[in-house]
Structure 1
Amino acid sequence: MKYLFFTAAAICAIAFKSFGQEAAPNVQTFNFTVEDCVNYAYEHQDSVVNAKLDIKSAEYKVKETTGIGLPQVTGTASFQDYLKIPTTLLPGEFFGQPAGTFVPIQFGVKYQSSFGVNANQILFDGSYLVGLKASKTYKELSIRSHIRSRIEANVNVTKAYYQVLVSNEQLRLLNANIAQLKQQMDETTQQNKQGFVEKIDVDRIVVQYNNLVTSRENTIRLLALNYQVLKFQMGMPIEYALSLKDKLEDIKLEDNTADLAADTAFYHNRIEYNLAETNVDLRQLDLKRQKSLSLPSLKANAAYTSSYQDNNFSNLYKMSFPSSYVGLTLNVPIFSGLQRVNQIRQSKIAVLKSQNDLENAKNGLKLQANQAHVTYVNGLQSLNNQKRNQTLAQEVLRVSKIKYQQGVGSSIEVTQAQTGLEDADNKYIQGLYDALVSKVDLDKAYGRIK
């Protein structure tokens, strides 16, 4: 049955994670409700933890962008030892030599050094102002991405939790059927010894009994794996001991979707739609940035430098020659070979595409919600039908046993009735899991999971 199988990625990840892990000397034990498991995942699941770190990184990104508009100060220091002082050729006429001749002259000293401080400050830059706003929107994007990670963790943990509950229910039904069949097998064996029934009647029951015992053993192993899948989805080490507080009867499965269908703007509650809105905002900001590149920019700058020169190193720093200045730098874009014009056009197209994506996301979310609604209603009806079939199968088996004991029925009827009950139990388990999963998908589709 499909509810017994999981994604290959989850199982492989569990296998790799468990391989090489040694049993902890002090294994921790937890007894959790589904809400406890979800809250644990919020704090330990890798994708949620990383998304939370992305928010912190985005905060630093905002501060980094803000720092661009603050004064930028740098210090400089230099030292030169001229092993050969540069030589300059001067016209010979300066020194009374014939025209056309040159006299080599060395200018400068052997040792030179300087220390300086430079500072500049943005007074106006349109791209900086837009970038500052964009960095804050980027932070908002990381926050919404974190919310999406929490929702996905919530969905995965809840489904894994329900899988364990369903597996426990399947194990309970198998135990009940095995106990019932064991009693029937013992009674039939005694009747065979007394000559009231044939050996073939005993053999039929033994075959059924062995099959049920094998199914129980398989279910027990799968149940252990289901617990590991749940712990993996929670971000919990799989060697920890985990037990579940919630019971299947605590979960309310009812058709309460009428109020959901009345909310036509539910998609605003979906994080996917919010992320698409943020993407539109970022594209619009990029368009503003491209336009701002056509505006002039103005910066203030200042510098102070202290120079030292001497032919003797021991006297180099005895006398300084300071210099300083303050000024303004104005950059005015004049012509860029139509690059900016075409960049603006590309940004406009990107905005239109993001708006189309937003509209498509809205339609997709509406369709997803309608599909989730239909699947949930169908799942409830199927589950209720399987419950009725299960009850009928139990009654058929009870009547078949009475008829067989009174000699008006055959062992084949009892065997068929037992097989029918097992089939009804299996379909009930499948319907139960499908209904639980569709309930989670419905809550997600209408933005109930935050």
Structure 2
Amino acid sequence: MKKTFLIFTLLGLLLTRSMAQVVPPTGQTYSFTLQDCINYAYEHQDTVINARLDIKSADYRVKEIIGGGLPQVDGSALFQDYLKIPTNLLPGEFFGQPGTFIPVKFGVKYQSNLSLDVSQIIFDGSYIIGLKARSTYKELSQRNYVRTRINTNTNVTKAYYQVLVSNEQIKLLDANLNQLKQQLDQTTAQNKQGFVEKIDVDRLAYQYNALQTNRENVIRLLVLNYQLLKFQMGMPINENLTLRDKLADVKLEESAADLNSDTTVYKNRVEYSLFETQVKLNQFEVLRGKAAFLPSLKAIGNFTSSYQNNTFGSLYSNNFPASYVGLRLTVPIFNGFQRTNQLRQTQITLQKSQNDLYRVKDALNLQAASAKVMFYNGMQTLNSQRRNQELAREVLRVTKIKYQQGVGSSIEVTQAQTALEDADNKYIQGLYDALVSKVDLDKAYGRIQ
């Protein structure tokens, strides 16, 4: 009995372990670098998955095009029950009754045909153009996939930086709260000893409460920023995510290296390649429209088994087979100018895509120049805000010393504290703007692939 219980216990443990390996855990904790988040998004983000499926769909589309030139075989079956056999009128001369018509029924009550049709393209201009365009069609889906990956990379990176900046903002708020709490405790003690007025305590308490509320708001926004990051990654919201990278790991200065001002930046962008591919496809469409004016030639064949009888039970006892092979030449002559108008439409579409290709060069170059200026401006603003932050911190330190020595007022301390908080907020905003401009710069110069 004990052995049986032990066996079932072991089986239960094995089943539990195997199920744990199959079913993904919920609420799993991930510790990711920025690159880990990007790689996760490449595998789980819906837009990337759909773009990858588009490549598979393009593969099947290419196979469909190729299949049009392979032998086409169709089978058919027919059964007919003539409730009333058709009647034909024959001249009476055949029956010795000139000047009259004699009704005669031809055929049998039951008929059945089994047929097999075979055709093979020998020459078709549209099919030949389709074969030439198949690689370009697949290339379009692949470049769309690359563009989707770049956009996903950009969105994930910006969301990742937003979380890092929010964490930095909380650190600054904590530092301000700690020093403000010490000052509040010290001023409260001095007030009890009669050295300072109650209004000085109230000013600091008001400032401390406002700063504490601001911190709580930032924490709630941080939770939302984490959710946004997981959304951009395609990660379920209930999963736990921690970030391993720090702001110190982001080398903003390195982004300014190798920035050129030539007019060939657009060549690094996948968007330009997409427009080029679209022009190629439109060129093939024009060729296909012209090929529609050419004759087409097919080899055809047919085999039919015909069964006829007045008795249903004996219908398939008599077989009357027939077969043929041949060639079918189709020469387009006139179809109400439809082919001509279709060709003109595709030519206009080609002209528009060529105009778009020409225009996108300037657009991408302008985007790169704009991103470069925004990055330099962002870096200059960040450095300025960083210096202002240090100055505000020094002003607060000196103001507090003067207040403690009795040569300064509490209002000056409060103003210095407010100035430091304002400098911190501007520094945080400048930091995020610089990080975003770095991402936009990398994208504009084709560094993200």
**TM-score bucket of the superposed structures, by smaller chain:** over 0.9
Which of 376-385 and 133-142 deviates more? 133-142
Task: Name 2:54's counterpart in structure 1.
Answer: 54
Q: Deviations over 1:405-449 (max 9, x none)?
A: 111111111111111110110010000000000000000001111
After superposition, residues 382-393 of structure 1 pair within 5 angstroms as 382-393=381-392
After superposition, residues 304-343 of structure 1 pair within 5 angstroms as 304-343=303-342
Deviation of the 1:135 alpha carbon? 3.6
Query: Residues 58, 25 of structure 1: CA spacing in aligned structure 2 closer, same or farther, 3 A cutoff?
Result: closer
Query: Residues 336, 237 of structure 1: CA spacing in aligned structure 2 closer, same or farther, 3 A cutoff?
Result: same
Task: Name 1:67's counterpart in structure 2.
Answer: 67
Task: Name 1:83's counterpart in structure 2.
Answer: 83
Q: Does 1:203 align with 2:202?
A: yes
Instruction: Tell whether the 8 Å contact from 1:130 to 1:288 is kept in structure 2 after alignment.
Output: yes
Task: Name 2:438's counterpart in structure 1.
Answer: 439
Give the SS at the match of 1:116.
strand
Task: Name 2:241's counterpart in structure 1.
Answer: 242
Task: Name 1:175's counterpart in structure 2.
Answer: 174
Give the SS at the match of 1:261.
coil
Give the SS at the match of 2:259.
helix
| Structure 1, gaps ≥5 residues long | 1-23
Task: Name 1:217's counterpart in structure 2.
Answer: 216
Deviation of the 1:262 alpha carbon? 5.0
Task: Name 1:95's counterpart in structure 2.
Answer: 95
Task: Name 1:449's counterpart in structure 2.
Answer: 448
Instruction: Tell whether the 8 Å contact from 1:255 to 1:377 is kept in structure 2 after alignment.
Output: no
Which of 101-110 and 262-271 deviates more? 262-271
Task: Name 1:19's counterpart in structure 2.
Answer: none
Give the SS at the match of 1:56.
helix
Q: Does 1:261 align with 2:257?
A: no
| Structure 2, gaps ≥5 residues long | 1-23
Which of 192-201 and 99-108 deviates more? 99-108
Q: Which amino acid aligns with 1:249?
A: A
CA distance in 1, matches of 2:81, 2:320: 18
CA distance in 1, matches of 2:315, 2:147: 65
Q: Deviations over 1:252-281 (max 9, x none)?
A: 011653522155422112111111111111
CA distance in 1, matches of 2:25, 2:288: 58
Q: Which amino acid aligns with 1:386?
A: Q
Give the SS at the match of 2:253.
coil
Give the SS at the match of 2:245.
coil
Q: Does 1:272 align with 2:271?
A: yes
Give the SS at the match of 2:31.
strand
CA distance in 1, matches of 2:240, 2:128: 54
CA distance in 1, matches of 2:215, 2:343: 67
Q: Which amino acid aligns with 2:383?
A: N
Identity %: 69
Which of 300-309 and 334-343 deviates more? 334-343
Task: Name 2:300's counterpart in structure 1.
Answer: 301
Query: Residues 84, 128 of structure 1: CA spacing in aligned structure 2 closer, same or farther, 3 A cutoff?
Result: same
CA distance in 2, matches of 1:246, 1:409: 43
Task: Normalising by structure 2, report the TM-score.
Answer: 0.92
Instruction: Tell whether the 8 Å contact from 1:78 to 1:114 is kept in structure 2 after alignment.
Output: yes
Instruction: Tell whether the 8 Å contact from 1:113 to 1:308 is kept in structure 2 after alignment.
Output: yes
CA distance in 1, matches of 2:335, 2:317: 51
Q: Deviations over 1:182-239 (max 9, x none)?
A: 0000000010110111111111111110111000110111101100010011111111
Task: Name 1:375's counterpart in structure 2.
Answer: 374
Task: Name 2:413's counterpart in structure 1.
Answer: 414
Deviation of the 1:64 alpha carbon? 1.1
Deviation of the 1:348 alpha carbon? 2.2
Instruction: Tell whether the 8 Å contact from 2:125 to 2:296 is kept in structure 1 after alignment.
Output: yes
CA distance in 1, matches of 2:242, 2:178: 25
Task: Name 1:133's counterpart in structure 2.
Answer: 132
Q: Which amino acid aligns with 2:342?
A: Q
Deviation of the 1:157 alpha carbon? 0.5
CA distance in 1, matches of 2:313, 2:335: 53
Query: Residues 265, 301 of structure 1: CA spacing in aligned structure 2 closer, same or farther, 3 A cutoff?
Result: same
Deviation of the 1:326 alpha carbon? 0.2
CA distance in 2, matches of 1:340, 1:307: 40
Task: Name 1:146's counterpart in structure 2.
Answer: 145
Task: Name 1:397's counterpart in structure 2.
Answer: 396
CA distance in 2, matches of 1:49, 1:330: 45
CA distance in 1, matches of 2:254, 2:420: 27
Task: Name 2:10's counterpart in structure 1.
Answer: none
Instruction: Tell whether the 8 Å contact from 1:147 to 1:271 is kept in structure 2 after alignment.
Output: yes
Deviation of the 1:342 alpha carbon? 3.6
Deviation of the 1:77 alpha carbon? 1.2
Give the SS at the match of 2:289.
helix
Give the SS at the match of 1:79.
strand
Q: Deviations over 1:47-81 (max 9, x none)?
A: 11111111111111111111111111011111122
Task: Name 1:8's counterpart in structure 2.
Answer: none
CA distance in 2, matches of 1:155, 1:258: 19
Q: Which amino acid aligns with 1:103?
A: I
CA distance in 1, matches of 2:387, 2:56: 54
Q: Which amino acid aligns with 1:71?
A: P
Q: Deviations over 1:288-335 (max 9, x none)?
A: 011101111000000001111122223222221111000001112234
Q: Which amino acid aligns with 2:264?
A: A
Instruction: Tell whether the 8 Å contact from 2:118 to 2:302 is kept in structure 1 after alignment.
Output: yes
Instruction: Tell whether the 8 Å contact from 1:255 to 1:380 is kept in structure 2 after alignment.
Output: no
Which of 260-269 and 355-364 deviates more? 260-269
Give the SS at the match of 1:260.
coil
Give the SS at the match of 2:446.
coil
Q: Deviations over 1:122-152 (max 9, x none)?
A: 1000011112333432221111111111111
